Amino acid sequence: MRDFLPAEKARRERVLAVIRERYRAHGFDEIETPVVEDYGRLHSGMGGDNEKLSFSILKRGLEANDFVTSEGDVAALADLGLRFDLTVPLARFYATNRGDLPTVFRSIQMAPVWRAERPQKGRYRQFVQCDIDIIGDASARAEAELIVATLDTVDALGLEGASVRINDRRALDAMLDVFGFVADERPGVLITIDKLDKIGAEGIVAELRERGATFAAVDAFEAFMRRPQTLEYRPFGEGQIRKALPAGVPDDVIAHLVGIGEAVVAARGGEAPLVFDPFLVRGMGYYTGTIFELAHPSVNYSLGGGGRYDGMIGRFLGQDVPAVGFSIGFERIVDLLEEQTADATPALVLVHDKNVAVNQLIALKAELIREGMRVRVEQRTKNLNGLLTRARADGYSAFATVNSDTTRESLEIKQLG
């Protein structure tokens, strides 16, 4: 877990402000849930592998004997936990507050989550997720609204040229069925296919053989993967989707994908920056339909992703409600946007000698603040350059030196290189 110093914190807050402003423009409304949720809710089987990575909070008022448990069962000692994603808490939130929400509810959540991962480069135990979700709309419009809002937001952050890889869990299921994988082996087969980017077609086939997957089905899948046509998906549309899939995928699944593409085109004009990818899997078990990932030409990893999870709300509400969400990888995006974007408010460092009277200095500072400036006061040190370099890193754009007879009128404001 990380400390954020002033320059980095300011950058993160500016990125969050852009995301918030764009998502709100698209009719999404920000909500907030507690960082801590009931232990039982977090471990209800909907969080996949992330459940195992959750931090658990000790019950209060425990006494010596409470700790003695032959089973070593954490649930006996913990009643709360830190959320490991924003989707499970959203489902709980919706079930709790449904009566006060619009029929179709479009939520924004921008908040930290925690996972007890082994510390490694680029993985943090506390990190921010930015999710938008649409609850209560089963139509392709929901996916289109999420994709349009996300692309607009990424554009506003200066990452133009992003695209969305898209698939449907039902198309994957149908495809595996067509090839002859039996129902029981399909979850394992999907875990292997998910590694295509990393291990390639050859690696996939080897791993499927090792799994002992139905021999003829692996043959059929290999032949399908090696077809030259599968490499050409664009432009997005029915013809291309059908070409990228084996025969036998239900028409309504394809129509849903086509509908998303048409709506994205309607909103953005021109060609939809969508790429149909019949091998896109995404890890989470709760997806039931469309799945997607955000790609950008500058990096070879995804900058976000999401999908439809029509079954989850029902687990909390006792009544199924369609839901689909798109999560932006905030930490990855912040790392990409490394340059310091300019601060709108003029920011000034007043560098003063030791002999300047406190009240003269504080009155001058107050006057400059009233003029609309952001003002930091620092006593002159031997290393003036070091002082100014750090101030510039913190977003200060100008400085002025103050001695005992400096007034507002005589103050000389100089820009910092």
Amino acid at 306: G
User: Does residue 351 interact with a copy of itself by CB under 8 A?
Assistant: no
User: Does residue 255 interact with a copy of itself by CB under 8 A?
Assistant: no
What minimum distance in Å lies between the beta carbon of 158 and a copy of itself? 18
To 10 degrees, the CA torsion angle through 401, 406, 411, 416?
0
What minimum distance in Å lies between the beta carbon of 206 and a copy of itself? 33
What minimum distance in Å lies between the beta carbon of 58 and a copy of itself? 5
Q: 190 and 325 in contact (C-beta within 8 Å)?
A: no
Out of 77, 156, 196, 201, the only residue in the binding site for a copy of itself (CB under 8 A) is 77
What minimum distance in Å lies between the beta carbon of 354 and a copy of itself? 11
User: Does residue 1 interact with a copy of itself by CB under 8 A?
Assistant: yes
User: Does residue 215 interact with a copy of itself by CB under 8 A?
Assistant: no
Distance CA 267, CA 148 (A): 7
Residue 365: CB atoms within 10 Å:
18
Out of 14, 15, 19, 33, the only residue in the binding site for a copy of itself (CB under 8 A) is 33
User: Does residue 216 interact with a copy of itself by CB under 8 A?
Assistant: no
Stretch 3-32 residues interacting with a copy of itself (CB under 8 A): 3-6, 9-10, 12-13, 20-21, 24-27, 29-32
Out of 199, 216, 363, 384, the only residue in the binding site for a copy of itself (CB under 8 A) is 363
Distance CA 275, CA 401 (A): 57
Q: 150 and 133 in contact (C-beta within 8 Å)?
A: no
User: Does residue 177 interact with a copy of itself by CB under 8 A?
Assistant: no
What minimum distance in Å lies between the beta carbon of 374 and a copy of itself? 5
Which string of x and - marks every residue 370-399 that binds a copy of itself (by CB under 8 A)?
A: ---xxxxxxx-x-----x--xx--x-----
Q: Which stretch binds a copy of itself (CB under 8 A): 108-116, 161-169, 231-239, 324-332?
A: 108-116
Distance CA 407, CA 404 (A): 9
Sheet holding 414-415, edge to edge: 374-379, 347-352, 398-402, 414-415
Number of residues forming the site for a copy of itself (CB under 8 A)? 95
Q: 135 and 104 in contact (C-beta within 8 Å)?
A: yes
Distance CA 339, CA 120 (A): 24
Out of 57, 156, 317, 337, the only residue in the binding site for a copy of itself (CB under 8 A) is 57
**How far is the CA of 13 from the CAs of 16, 25, 205, 336, in angstroms?**
5, 18, 45, 15
- Of residues 13 and 202, the one with the C-beta less far from a copy of itself: 13
User: Does residue 138 interact with a copy of itself by CB under 8 A?
Assistant: no
The torsion region of residue 311 among left (phi > 0), alpha (psi -120 to 50) and beta comes to: alpha
What minimum distance in Å lies between the beta carbon of 239 and a copy of itself? 19
User: Does residue 40 interact with a copy of itself by CB under 8 A?
Assistant: no
Phi, psi of 10, rounded to the nearest 5 degrees: -65, -40
What minimum distance in Å lies between the beta carbon of 361 and a copy of itself? 8
3-state class (DSSP) for residue 355 = coil
- Of residues 76 and 178, the one with the C-beta less far from a copy of itself: 76
What minimum distance in Å lies between the beta carbon of 366 and a copy of itself? 4
Question: Does a cis peptide bond (omega within 30 degrees of 0) precede residue 346?
Answer: no
